[in-house]
Chain A
């Protein structure tokens, strides 16, 4: 249970405050409601590049990081397809430093050409390090355009191509800032050693209050048409073993089915006792490892299975074995103890996550973005409502071959 207070500023900034005095620290989290889905298809990777620029100095403060280090704080950020999330933890007595810095970069950036050029280089090295120079690092770069044909989820947050990052200009940067970064497009949470909520609200009013609302670019995303036939693509790369990746379109994050699909995913792959591991790794020895997860997007997202084939196993045998596990979910109701197992696992993940004020701050912001921060405390209930029949119905609804895309990521060395 995360007990919190909500407060709205006149400029549209929403603020969530949670007190936990078991720590000397305070976590501060800001979500900007902008991700790679909001990018121009010809300038992908912009939201993520922008995240880097946010650390390159703001309107009145030339250096973002040094004052935080002086205050004993730690900070970072991430960008995904839906959101850009900035966070820091700071000793409670220096909380104002966090407000000073975060509000100034919401007000305006330094917009320095030099910073832009350097950060472009760094992001290009990041692209190489994380996606191109790692075995299997490009799986999502290959899978997304197979699964999505029109929705901007068809590119990854890092961008479609390095050339998109190279050509970004300062005009693009300013346009992006003023159409997405604004108090009325952000949610702030403050969690931790807060003796008095009123103090936090006054800090918020003082530092964020004077920032004017901005006109936010209207989000007009192309809806992905229903997939009507199975898609399979094959690539051959210099990797040690074959990998099978399968993705099915599922519901939006805010639909009730999401919780059913999340538990269904845990039945498939929640720990080593999950069905995929138990049957395909342990019993049949077809895969050396196999996992399933929800990609967690806000718009209709994906259930992804990713498995590494044992040497000498064909893609056909692997596909058939995965299919059998999936078909089972549609034919036979999941036994009660198995449902109980995945619910228990969810419950303990929640409790463990709540030991950390930064996790709590992030969760509050994220649920507020979904519609209502209160929902963070309803999760356990929503998961507990799921029963074997709902799992079976959801499996039949989403896990159809016509709704599936498969990537056969083949090792150049494999001789079959």
Chain B
């Protein structure tokens, strides 16, 4: 349902509705048979289908996940070892022939989306005024079918057909990996479409809302850009070498990737048109080292860098977009992202901190073809970003979480003209044009912890503010609230 009301009325309605629903669901949990984890072994559970790894190894979710889907150090080690425990029981030959390594995950939710400064019809005519647009109601997420495991000892795989909420499928991940080549944990080769070796994994993000459900730093591009698509958080296509110490304290990886943001058939999209690529390769590098800090836990520090190229124009046989010939992207221009990450544990409290830096060629920053002259005053845009994500893991069943992210432009691609809103290829309204601040709060409650299925009661609120990006050059503030049942089986 869409409503156009005063913000005060909307806020009242929102809090009333969400309070009632949260109260109802919390009451339902309290009345339900939701025993604490340690009480479960007394209950005889008859189940007929189970999450893939938990079923294979008979371990509770909490072994590999601090709160699923976030990995624990043990889970990270299991993943780095090619989804193997290393006990000579990993090969499929040791499983029942009926074993089928499939898990699905979906999330029925209620959510509220509020967009500030949306251009709508007004007294001045079509698209003449800005107002807040709020939407809320019941919904559901996309559906993931995770199938992963080992094809043989030291040969692992992962295939993830994923549907959006309409049921339209795509392949989110498709890879096979040769593990422990030459008997060394330092030699693992993965080929296919996979998540980059991000220590703070966006695919294992604990937040689900529109603005909190992704890491803004992983996807940020200056607001002046439109010609290429890229996100460190997006799964990419290529080949990866990864190595790690036996206890996983030291990790290092390098990947050679297509320059099409993980799309098939040499194509890519920037959201508005299909782009073509195929004549460039990108590289991603990461390294980290963990160390023990007494009773505080395992601390980890690391760094990463993505060095990329993107085409600035294409070959057409149809008179122009959107029918460029696949694989004909030319006029490549460079960009990079780099960062430092720290994962800090203070017993049940943990913080992840990231410093992020980005740089794009002036051609990419202004959306200019490499064969054309740059706009007057154009420069290569640069920016810095920061992230602090905090979790309080009360016990395996409760996770309180908070994240604050910020992105600050340090150099705009186009000259600044404070008298005008953003004019593509000409000027930006301010030096902070496109800056982002995001805050996310929430909690996840897992009423039971088992080795058969995962279930979480998820609550979250996120708010994003981006500077001067509305159509009339104003700051835009959007928010998203969400609660629902996040489950995997």
Chains A and B belong together in one complex: no
Q: Which residues of B contact A (CB under 8 A)?
A: none
